[in-house]
Amino acid sequence: MKKEFIQSEAAGPNGWTVWGVSGRIDITTAEDAYARGEEIVRKSGKTALDLSEVDYVSSAGIRVMMRLFDLAEDNGKEFTVVGAAGTVARVLKETGMDTLLQMQETVNDLP
Amino acid sequence: MSEKEAVLTVAASDDEMDAVNAFIDMLVADVPFDEEARTQLDMAVEEIFVNISHYAYGEGTGQVTVRGRVAQEPPYTVTVAFEDEGLAFNPLEKKPPDLTPAVRRHKIGGLGIFLARSMSDEIGYERRQGKNVLTIRKKMV
């Protein structure tokens, strides 16, 4: 069931680590996405998940983001998302994740 | 109006998600579609299938039959019905999920069905011949 999960990691502005992923975050990739995200959140002070190359996020993906947000918060760190567009942005707004995560439009908007 | 029809029966298991996605790919392969509508159809399909996979048969196992139809003229409406033989359960009667911080840490219930409803043009449930039948409709253009 597991699919290859394509991702990248880069230094962003203001001390953020930008975690870029592409493709889908769905029931078949969520487990891998969380594992990769957990590694980055644990070692970084501030992690921004860049969704600009993601065209699909299901509830499994929403749960990944919630878990990573909680993990960051529990450890005195920050986790947010940037770059969501189209249906991905709609899903984040309808579930209230845009507010919870203080979603930013682009990497350059990270505070 | 002519329609293309297809049927798939698989185990109610997350492991079959790829097979269901491939079935939907095949179903809509011959009609034009708006990319966002296609994404939303896939989302609704995933949420419903996963909901059945996780809850329909409790700790046991069972099957899901997916019946697909797509109209061959605009707006190329796709109809997908999911049938399972689990306990009678209408997920559309569930309350919308409460995503406030105090609640979401404990349990987020109903998020998948909330999204399936949001991404579909129509969604309906009926109990038919001992089966749960959840049907969605989505216009492709």
Query: Is-contact B51 B64, C-beta < 8 A?
Result: no
Per-residue pLDDT of A35-80, as tens digits, reads 999 999 999 999 999 999 999 999 999 999 999 999 999 999 999 9
CATH code for the domain of A66: 3.30.750.24
B95 confidence band (pLDDT: 50, 70, 90): confident
How high is the pLDDT of residue B91?
A: 86
Query: Is-contact B120 B136, C-beta < 8 A?
Result: yes
Q: Is B109 a residue whose pLDDT tops 60? A: yes
How high is the pLDDT of residue B87?
A: 87
Query: Is-contact A59 B47, C-beta < 8 A?
Result: yes
Interface contact B42-A27, CB threshold 8 A = no
Residues in B whose CB is inside 8 Å of some CB of A read 14-15, 17-18, 36, 39-40, 42-43, 46-47, 50, 97, 99, 101, 104-105, 108, 111-112, 114-115, 118-119
DSSP state letters, B34-54: -HHHHHHHHHHHHHHHHHHHH
How high is the pLDDT of residue A2?
A: 47
| Poorest-pLDDT segment among B14-18, B22-26, B95-99, B111-115 | B95-99
How high is the pLDDT of residue B106?
A: 46
Q: Is B107 a residue whose pLDDT tops 60? A: no
Taking each helix axis from N to C end, the angle separating B17-27 and B35-55, rounded to the nearest 10 degrees, works out to 140
What percent of chain B has a predicted confidence (pLDDT) above 70? 91
Per-residue pLDDT of B32-77, as tens digits, reads 999 999 999 999 999 999 999 999 999 899 999 999 999 999 999 9
Closest CA to B15 of B61, B58, B80: B61
Asked, for residue A2, whether it belongs to a domain, the answer is no
Say if strands B131-138 and B78-84 run parallel, antiparallel, or are unpaired.
Answer: antiparallel
Q: Which residues of B touch A60 (CB under 8 A)?
A: 46, 50
B94 confidence band (pLDDT: 50, 70, 90): confident
Helix (H) or strand (E) holding A10: strand A7-11
Q: Who among A58, A95, A96 is closest to B43 (CB)?
A: A58
Nearest C-alpha of chain B: how many angstroms from A87? 6
Q: Who among A70, A87, A96 is closest to B39 (CB)?
A: A87
Q: Which residues of B touch A58 (CB under 8 A)?
A: 43, 46-47, 50, 112, 115
Q: In terms of C-beta density within 10 A (0-12 exposed, 13-18 middle, 19 or more buried), how is residue B65 classed?
A: middle
Domain that holds residue A56: 7-106
Per-residue pLDDT of A71-106, as tens digits, reads 999 999 999 999 999 999 999 998 888 988 999 999
What percent of chain B has a predicted confidence (pLDDT) above 90? 78
How high is the pLDDT of residue B108?
A: 59
Q: How many CB atoms lie within 10 A of CB B15?
A: 12
Q: Is B139 a residue whose pLDDT tops 50? A: yes
A7 or B70, which is more confident: B70
B101 confidence band (pLDDT: 50, 70, 90): low
DSSP state letters, A69-106: HHHHHHTT-EEEEE---HHHHHHHHHTTHHHHTT-BSS
Tokens found for residue A27 = 């029931």
How high is the pLDDT of residue A58?
A: 95
Number of domains forming the structure of chain A? 1
Strands (DSSP E) found in chain B? 3-11, 63-71, 78-84, 122-128, 131-138
Asked, for residue A27, whether it belongs to a domain, the answer is yes
Q: Is B102 a residue whose pLDDT tops 80? A: no
Number of domains forming the structure of chain B? 1
Domain that holds residue B28: 3-138
Q: Which residues of A touch B101 (CB under 8 A)?
A: 100
Tell me which chain A residue has its CA closest to the CA of residue B21: A28
Asked, for residue A1, whether it belongs to a domain, the answer is no
Q: What is the mean pLDDT of residues A16-39?
A: 95
CATH code for the domain of B58: 3.30.565.10
ipTM of this predicted complex? Answer: 0.88
